[in-house]
Structure 1
Amino acid sequence: MIFITLIASLLIAAVSIYQFDKEAKDYHQDRVDRKEKAIKEHINYILSTTTYPLTTENLPLIFRERIHELANIHSMEINIYDLNGHLLKSSKAAFSVDTLSQKIPDRILRIVRSTAEKRFVDLLTSEKGNKYRSSYSYIKDTKFKPLGILSLPYIEDDGYYEKEVKNFMIRFAQVYSFMLLISIIIAYFLSSYITKSLKAISDRITEIRLSSANEKIDQKDSPQEISQLVKAYNLMVDDLEESAAKLAQSEREQAWREMAKQVAHEIKNPLTPMRLTVQSFQRRFNPEDPDIRKKMDEFASTLIQQIDTMTSVASAFSSFASMPAQQNETINMVKIVQLALEIFNESYITFIADEPEVITRMDRTQLIRIITNLVKNAIQAMPDNKPDPLVEVRVYREGSNARICVKDNGKGISMENKNRIFEPKFTTKTSGMGLGLGIIKNIVENYNGSITFESERGKGTMFIVTFPITEEDSTETTNNI
């Protein structure tokens, strides 16, 4: 809208200037014609009343006194030439006649002779830069015989038109500046009204999440095109919710299938030795055997061991599927980590604390669980023939975060296993079900924390657990540590 207004104003200004210039040219042309007509009628009257014979040679005598009278009456300079273009008489003063062209150019003579009207008007520019017109036409006697050529120089005075153009452009600029301002204001509010609905739609689109409920848009007073867009968006929200529900259902079913497969696999492992043990005992059973009591004890011990294995499988999957409720309390992380390390008898486990207290708020049982799992993994990562095994546990504060670093110099993690290290059921050990790190990751993320690791094959692994701590946590004192 602003662009159209600006272009329109420029076009109108250009057309107006062109119109003023055309009117000025038409005015001067018309004035030259009227002056020439009046002067020629006056000349014809003089020729009809003169006593001199009407010849070209007598023209200077006929107009000797009358030419100045003609110039004064009609307020124009008058020059009379013979038919060959030589100057015969001029109304200019004697001392300035020398500055006048003494002969009409041959080009103009040919044009005047060739035209039907025997007339030509030439548009010229003076040495001072002023525009002027010069009219050339035949002077004829009473019998229409050519006697000479009349030249009427006419200087165009455009001062009036230039002043009018200047005044017009000033008023025009004022009016269109005001109109441009009005158009800017109207365009702003109009575009705001049009884009308000589009902005609402774009904001909603950026807020779309597959895992959460998305609100629909209610735009009852929107234009038809916007209404169609809103309708399409609302249909997309419905489809997205339906797809999300189906996806969630599919993921749950797939997760349970995978869990069922893993549970079945882990339970089948102890069932096979249990079956073989029972069959072997059944074949060799002899009530009269003097060692029957000893064999019964061995049989029972084997069954109890396998039953404990199945119990640990069920407990592990139960822990992974449903974490216990958090019992958050204000604790000193340094003391809790130190307490968790007391259950390990390995002499190569070292503990470092950068400060005596790192206060945070969380469930101490889950913190102990994190330390226990990480340290146990570090111990199990040690080769049997490692000359100088080392497991270093460090607690420190970094900005507004509390960090626990568990570092070992064991086997390290291979490149192909790094992306799967936190996957449930994934393990590189011959025992265990691969749920430890998955459980730890869930615990840490429940506290808005993070767990990362760095590992180099053959040199060891370092796990870093980060928990955010608030200023309130750091100023509270520990109780019941």
Structure 2
Amino acid sequence: MILLVLLASILILVVTVYQYDLQTTDYNIQRFERKEAIAKEIIELELANKTSYAVSTENLPKIFQNRIYEISSINKLNITIYNLEGRLLKTSFGNAFEKIDKTPLTDFIVSDLAQNSNHRVFNNKEIAGTSYQTSYSYINDPKFKRIGILELQFTQDNSEIEHELKEFIYRLSLVYLLMFLLAISFAYFLSSYITRSIKTISDKMQQTRLNERNEKIILNKASSEIEVLVDAYNHMIDQLEESAVRLAKSEREQAWREMAKQVAHEIKNPLTPMRLTVQSFERKFDPKDENVKEKLAEYSETLIQQIDVMSSIASAFSDFAKMPTQKREKIEVIGVVKLALDIFNEDSIKYYPQEKELFANLDKTQLIRIVTNLVKNASQAIDKQENPLIEVKVYSEGNAVKITISDNGKGISEDVKELIFEPKFTTKSSGMGLGLGIIKNIIEAYDGTISFTSKVGIGTVFTVILPKT
């Protein structure tokens, strides 16, 4: 709006100046034409009635010897008389006794005058604020015979008109300045009215959340355009609530599916060592062995431990947020790790404890689960190797327990290293399954860390660091 007012002011100013110039030019021309008509009429009367000389080209200077000054003074015109070839005969410039040095008419003017249908040539020019109108026409004798060329020149000073124009522009500028200030004020209050409603909408949009209940916008006074915007926002809120309900339902279903996968995997973890224990029991059990009771107790203890693991998983199934349940108790880490390795019968598994005893506040069941899972993955990684080897080391490092499990398997390629701990990632070439993601969560629940280094064709080393307290 302000820009339109400014452009309108500029355009009106330009049109005003142009119109003043046009009117000034027209006024000067009309004024000159009136003076020209009167001067010609006086000259014709002089030739027809008042002169005692024969009316001819040669006598024109004599006929208008003094009369030319009177006609010039009365009409305020500069009068010059030429013969038909354009040479000077008489002029009102100067006085009767002064020699005037005035150039003859150009051939262009003489020929243009002869060829013009109304036998008149008009020139109009302006120099330094002064307007000059000049006309050329023939002088005829009473019998309408051409005897000379008449030049009439009118000089008009436009300084007064220009002064009036400047005064008018000044007053017009004051008026438009006032209009401009009024436009700014009106635009300010109008924009404040509009932006107040828009600010309300903007605030509501910033407060909009997908997982929360959002309020609709209610405006008492607003323009029709703003009302359309508000209606669109309120409609979006309704659709957003419907989408949030569907999304929440989908997330719950997805969470249950993920939980089912995790529970199934957690149940499979103890089933594997239980199966291995039973197979080992069937193969090595000898009723006549002197240590049969001790071996039976050892096998039973292993089965009971894995059954306890399955029992804890079943208990945690009722509360997904607590799965797997974490607890802390003082355990002897060296012995627990050895107990976890006893379920594996492979000769390729070597255990190298760096200390005789190592105590820490951890969950015995969870520690067994961590070791069992990592060793089982390492066993899968060294499958079909000529000289398979898995080394398990446990030692103390400051206020932490450090467990390393290394193998000489195929290793892990660079393109899948970042996916190893993803819950849904699995690859048979490296032996990594869904359990690594769960193991990582268990370790991090104790404020511990798990990391690995691997080279393709050489092997992989997993490092677990758990705080002692």
Map residues 33-72 of structure 1 onto 2, 5 A cutoff: 33-47=33-47, 48-72=49-73
Closer/same/farther in 2, CA of residues 309 and 464 from structure 1, 3 Å limit? closer
- 105-114 vs 193-202, which moves further: 193-202
Q: Which residue of 2 aligns with 1:89?
A: 90
Deviation at 1:55, TM superposition (A): 1.9
Deviation, 1:159, is 0.9
Are 1:100 and 2:117 counterparts? no
Give the conservation status (yes or no) of the 8 Å contact 1:320–1:435.
Answer: no
Same amino acid, percent of matched pairs: 40
Output the amino acid matched with 1:233.
Y
Structure 1: which amino acid aligns with 2:28? Answer: H
Summarize the Cα distance change of 1:157–1:166 in structure 2 as closer, same or farther, 3 Å threshold: same
Q: Is the 8 A contact 2:76 2:154 kept in 1?
A: no
Q: What CA distance in whole angstroms lies between the structure 2 residues aligned with 1:264 and 1:162?
A: 101
- Once the two structures are TM-superposed, the CA of residue 25 in structure 1 deviates from its matched residue by 0.6
Deviation of 1:38 after TM superposition, in Å, equals 1.8
Q: How does 1:337-348 map to 2 (within 5 A)?
A: 344=333
Alignment of 1:305-344 (within 5 A): 305-314=305-314, 321-322=321-322, 344=333
Q: CA deviation at 1:214?
A: 2.3
DSSP-derived class of the 1:232 partner:
helix
- Paired position in structure 2 for 1:222: 222
Letter in 2 for 1:64: Q
Query: What does the per-residue CA deviation read over 1:166-217, in whole Å, with 9 as the maximum and x for residues that have no partner?
Result: 2222223332233223223323332343344444434434443322222222
Map of 2:213 onto structure 1: 213
RMSD after superposition: 5.1
Q: Which residue of 1 aligns with 2:441?
A: 438
Q: How do 1:60-459 residues align onto structure 2 when only pairs under 5 Å count?
A: 60-93=61-94, 97-101=99-103, 103-124=104-125, 131-264=131-264, 266-267=266-267, 304-314=304-314, 321-322=321-322, 344=333, 385=391, 391=397, 416=416, 418-419=418-419, 421=421, 423=423, 435=438, 437-438=440-441, 456-457=453-454
The residue identity in structure 2 corresponding to 1:16 is T
Q: CA separation of 1:15/1:463 partners in 2, compared to 1, >3 Å: closer, same or farther? A: farther
Q: Distance in 1 between matches of 2:235 and 2:150?
A: 90
Which letter does structure 1 place at the counterpart of 2:51?
T
Deviation at 1:113, TM superposition (A): 2.7
The DSSP-based 3-state class of the residue aligned with 2:78 is: coil
Q: Amino acid of the residue matched to residue 187 of structure 2?
A: A
Q: Which runs of 5 or more residues in structure 2 are unaligned?
A: 335-352, 379-388, 455-459
Q: Residue type matched to 1:100 in 2?
A: K
Which amino acid counterpart does residue 45 of structure 1 have in structure 2? L
The alpha carbon displacement at 1:435 in A equals 3.7
**How far off is 1:341 after superposition?**
9.4
Q: 1:459 to 1:192 in 2, by over 3 A?
A: farther
Inter-partner Cα distance in structure 2 for 1:17 and 1:164: 11
**Structure 1 residues 392 and 105, CA, compared in 2 at 3 Å: closer, same or farther?**
farther
Instruction: Please list the CA deviations of residues 233-290 of structure 1 after superposition, one character each: whole Å capped at 9, or x if unmatched.
Output: 222222222222222222222322442454355447767959x97xx99xx9x9xxxx
> Could you tell me which residue of structure 1 aligns to residue 457 of structure 2?
none
Q: Relative to 1, partners in 2 of residues 1:308 and 1:108: Cα closer, same or farther, differing over 3 Å?
A: same
Could you give the per-residue CA deviations for residues 133-165 of structure 1, whole angstroms, max 9, x where no partner exists? 211122333343333222112223221222122
Residue 147 of structure 2 aligns with an amino acid whose one-letter code is L
Is the Cα contact below 8 Å between 2:82 and 2:88 reproduced in 1? yes
Give the TM-score normalised by the residue count of structure 1: 0.66
1:333 alignment counterpart = none
SS of the residue 1:156 aligns to: strand
Give the secondary structure class of the aligned counterpart of 1:132.
strand
Contact 2:216/2:234 (<8 A) preserved = yes
**Whole-angstrom distance in 1 between the partners of 2:299 and 2:449:** 46
Contact 2:426/2:434 (CA < 8 Å) preserved in 1? no
Alignment partners' CA distance in 1, 2:219 and 2:23:
57
Partner of 2:121: helix, strand, or coil? strand
Contact 1:392 1:408 in 2 (8 A): no
Q: 1:177 to 1:71 in 2, by over 3 A?
A: same
**How many Å separate the matches in 1 of 2:368 and 2:61?**
133
Matches within 5 A, 1:455-474: 456-457=453-454
Q: Is the Cα–Cα contact under 8 Å of residues 85 and 104 in structure 1 kept in the other structure?
A: yes
Looking at structure 1, the residues matched to 433 and 15 of structure 2 have their Cα atoms a distance apart, in angstroms, of 94
Moved more, 160-169 or 314-323: 314-323
Change (3 A) 1:319 1:417: farther
Counterpart amino acid of 2:139? Answer: I
Partner SS state of residue 172, structure 1: helix
Cα shift at 1:70: 1.9
Name which of structure 1's ranges 379-388 and 57-66 shifts more when overlaid on structure 2. Answer: 379-388
CA contact 1:35–1:74 (8 Å) conserved in 2: yes
Counterpart residue number, 2:343? none
Look up the equivalent residue of 1:54 and give its one-letter code. V
Shift of 1:295: 10
Amino acid paired to 1:43: I
| Gap change, CA 1:57 and 1:299, over 3 Å in 2 | closer
1:300-337 CA deviation, whole Å, 9 max, x = no partner?
7576444323223235556762389xxxxxxxxxxxxx
- 8 Å contact from structure 1 (residues 391, 409) kept in 2: no
Task: Supply the AA of the counterpart residue of 1:52.
Answer: Y
Amino acid at match of 2:230: V
Equivalences, count: 408
Residue 44 of structure 1 and its aligned partner are, at CA, apart by 2.9
